[in-house]
Amino acid sequence: MTDTTGRPVRTEFPTSLGTSSATEIKLLGQDLAGDLMGKVGFGELAFWMVAMRRPTSGEVRVFEAVLVALTDHGFTPTAIAARVTYLSAPDSLQGALAAGLLGGGSRFLGVTEDSGTFLSAALAAHTADGRSLPDTDEGWDELALDAIARQRRSGKLVPGLGHPNHKDGDPRTPVLISIAAEEGVRGPHLQLFEAIGRMSGRGVGRHLPLNGAGVCGAALADLGLPTEMLRGFALLARCAGLVGQLAEERRNPIANDIYMNADRGAYYVDPTGSNPTGADPAT
């Protein structure tokens, strides 16, 4: 086969994921119907498809704990976006899901990827000149202070530190660290992340709790998953949460109230800063 200029067009495309024929479906080199269905959990399969290796039972436990931790947090912007989009286009469930997923950015869900990337970069910088990773808490604390200082010198916040609601500690953080330790996969990313929490007072000037999105990024990085894919796992988890949000929207709709509250609360403000109507916005 050739294109309009006579050059050959590629007709074969290699993949290590899914293929199908008239009689079978293959996935990851396995027979989908015979080898995977009813024998492999969805979380295990999602891990396998990205890592290109079948995870151990301990890795699956940590991975699925991450998915559970990130599934739903109530009426977040992602959930509101999905619900209001469904209000506008109830014939497009996929549009409502997409609207919610598109809201997964630097403030919501993206912290998982940002934390994993930050921790990986700090570990790489430490070992770049041949130094070994610490084997004591004091060594990890020193590394953490250096990582925090580097981040602050670049004018950036330390990802994974602080939470708008959980001022005294995110309940997900110690649980995920404990699960990783039980399964023997509490690696250098989690150890550095814990040290950053211990050193936040000295490094940032005030103690800040380690948030759940950040600890999820550290745990996923310790599982050997590529840091540039970590937001994808956060979105995978949140997709399940958004399906739940939309199912609840059908049972007990609130999107119209959200819309009407915002619309009826709107008032005109002159772009010059004056208020020509003389109305008090608070009334």
Per-residue pLDDT reduced to its tens digit, 256-278: 999 999 999 999 999 987 665 54
Same domain, 232 and 129: yes
Same domain, 43 and 177: no
CA 199 vs CA 61, 95, 113, 186, 188: distances in Å: 29, 43, 21, 19, 16
Same domain, 75 and 30: no
* pLDDT of 49: 97
Same domain, 74 and 44: no
* pLDDT of 276: 56
Same domain, 209 and 123: yes
The model's pTM: 0.90
Type of residue found at 42? F
Query: What is the DSSP pairing of strand 30-31 with strand 18-20?
Result: unpaired
Count of the separate structural domains present in the chain:
2
- Residue in 120, 119, 129 with CA at minimum distance from that of residue 158: 119
Same domain, 67 and 203: yes
Alpha-carbon distance 196 to 210, whole Å?
A: 8
Where in the sequence is the domain holding 137, given as residue range(s)?
56-256
* pLDDT of 277: 57
Residues of the chain short of pLDDT 70, as ranges, are 164, 167, 274-283
DSSP code of residue 15: -
DSSP code of residue 282: T
Beta partners for residue 2, in sequence order: 8
Same domain, 50 and 60: no
* pLDDT of 226: 96
Phi/psi for 227 (5° steps) reads -65, -30
* pLDDT of 6: 80
